[in-house]
Amino acid sequence: MYNGIGLQTARGSGTNGYTHSNKFFVKPKTNTALTGNGGEQSIADVSRKPNKDIPEHDRKRQIELKLVVLEDKLVDQGYTGEEIAEKLNEARRTLEASENQPPQQ
């Protein structure tokens, strides 16, 4: 036994009794930040602004999803490849223009 860990004797255990540490265990972060009133607050509790690229990427994915659905509909309706490409380009321009406009109140 080492520091209260492991077997008192290796006899009959099927192991050699050697104890070793778990190198893959990640301890949770306990960093703290001081608040204005002198108290401590966990770093996780401090609010951070989201990355600006994430909402932009999500907006682009939504546009592409709408275009894929439109393309499937146009293929089912029997349009040619050129007509589909023209309609998709037009739809992409209108979707991007409508997404860039601020919401009206």
Indicate if the pLDDT at residue 56 is higher than 70.
Answer: yes
Spatial distance between the Cα atoms of 49 and 101, rounded to a whole number of angstroms: 23
pLDDT reported for residue 37 = 56
Residue 46 near residue 33 (C-beta atoms within 8 A) = yes
Residue 100 near residue 79 (C-beta atoms within 8 A) = no
Structure tokens given for 76: 């089912």
Spatial distance between the Cα atoms of 70 and 87, rounded to a whole number of angstroms: 9
Mean pLDDT score of the chain: 78
Please compute the mean of the pLDDT values over residues 87-91 and round it to a whole number: 95
Residue 73 near residue 84 (C-beta atoms within 8 A) = no
Q: Which of 31, 24, 56, 60 is nearest to 46 (CA)?
A: 31
